Amino acid sequence: KGFAVVASEVRALAGRSAEAAKEIKTLIGTSVERVEQGSGLVAEAGATMDEIVSAIGRVTDVVGEISSATREQSQGVHQVGEAVSQMDQVTQQNAALVEESAAAAESLRQQADALVQSVARFRLG
């Protein structure tokens, strides 16, 4: 009778061991699936990081182009400012020449009037 009890306990223990082994197998299968999913996510994250690095490179290139264009525009604005300043100086010089010409013309007119009066005296005299 003692052997039957031991055999029964061994059978029960074997059954529990079989169930535990099934649970372990299920857990291992689930773990493998999750590891595979994690590996896939890591691969996707790596690809995304590569895309981000590439996009950052493109943005850096565009920022460089914008910086270069801004420098060129700044130089152009400076040149336009210098040209406007030179035009202002030339305009002021032209205005001074016009005033001088007007004064000279007025002087010539006065001299011509004086000559006309002098000639008129000779005719009358």
pLDDT digits (tens, 9 = 90+) for 57-83: 999 999 999 999 999 999 999 999 999
Residue 125 within any structural domain of the chain: no
For the segment 11-33, what is each residue's pLDDT rounded down to a tens digit? 999 999 999 999 999 999 999 99
Residue 58 within any structural domain of the chain: yes
Residue 38 within any structural domain of the chain: yes
Residue 33 within any structural domain of the chain: yes
Q: What does the DSSP 8-state code read for residue 125? A: -
Tell me, yes or no, if the pTM score tops 0.75. no
Residue 2 has pLDDT above 80, yes or no: no
Instruction: Look at the chain and report how many structural domains it folds into.
Output: 1
Its domain, for residue 43, covers 1-93
Q: What is the predicted pLDDT for the residue at 61?
A: 97
The number of residues in the chain equals 125
Q: What is the predicted pLDDT for the residue at 78?
A: 97
Q: What is the predicted pLDDT for the residue at 75?
A: 97
Max CA-CA distance within the chain? 181
What is the rounded distance in angstroms from the CA atom of residue 77 to the CA atom of residue 73?
A: 6
